[in-house]
Amino acid sequence: MTKTVLCYGDSLTWGYDAETIGRHEYKNRWPSVLQAALGSEARIIAEGLNGRTTAFDDHLADCDRNGARVLPTILQTHAPLDLVILLLGTNDMKPVVAGSAFAACQGISRLVRLIRNHAWPFEFDGPEILIVAPPAICATGNVPFAASFPGGIEESAKLATLYRDLADELGCGFFDGNSVAKTTPIDGIHLDAENTRALGRGLESIVRMMLGI
């Protein structure tokens, strides 16, 4: 039977293109690449929001960027789910959001517990959870982005280790985005087309394994 996978993320999932200051073409976004790889065996649902945090408020946008406040509504919308992929944490590196890898890790932990304790309709089974560490922030000459993420290079470099330990502790899958992709020096945060495609390809194997397909 076709599996359903929710990709819950931020601009890396949305497909922010730092070069054109726009959105990557549909086919280049990692959820689309993953969909193409899995074909009819799975249905990939992309819910990426620019600026989304794990579990912290950010009132600088005309929408709700707190991942923990919005997640239950998204889970209910797409239930039943077989797998939820969480790719979040980069925006937590902003000091006005949280500013530390440790806080992002606590936010991911909160999201996992929200999924585990969700009141699924019709007593649907809950999904497996795959935690993905975002590729670390790199140095950039882009002044506004650099100013948004002071200390972000050091802190974001810690995410993979912290997320891996958390995934072990909570019985979730883990994938290190740094193993296949790196952020663009254009703004230090985002993935260019090649790297977002690489992330989709990189995820195929563990997603297949977790879905048993």
Q: What residues make contact with a copy of itself under the rule CB under 8 A? A: 2, 14, 21-23, 26, 43, 47-50, 55-57, 59-64, 66, 68-70, 72-73, 75-77, 79-80, 95-96, 98-100, 102-103, 106-107, 109-110, 113-114, 116-119, 121-122, 147-148
Shortest spacing between CB 33 and a copy of itself, in angstroms:
15
Shortest spacing between CB 152 and a copy of itself, in angstroms:
13
Q: Which residues are paired to 4 by β-bridges?
A: 43
CA dist., res. 15 & res. 96, Å (int) = 23
Specify the residue, 106 or 142, whose C-beta has the smaller distance to a copy of itself. 106
Specify the residue, 55 or 202, whose C-beta has the smaller distance to a copy of itself. 55
CA dist., res. 132 & res. 89, Å (int) = 9
Shortest spacing between CB 99 and a copy of itself, in angstroms:
7
DSSP readout, 105-161? HHHHHHHHHHHHT---GGGPPPPEEEEEEPPPP---S-HHHHHHSTTHHHHHHTHHH
Specify the residue, 113 or 185, whose C-beta has the smaller distance to a copy of itself. 113
3-state secondary structure of 126: coil
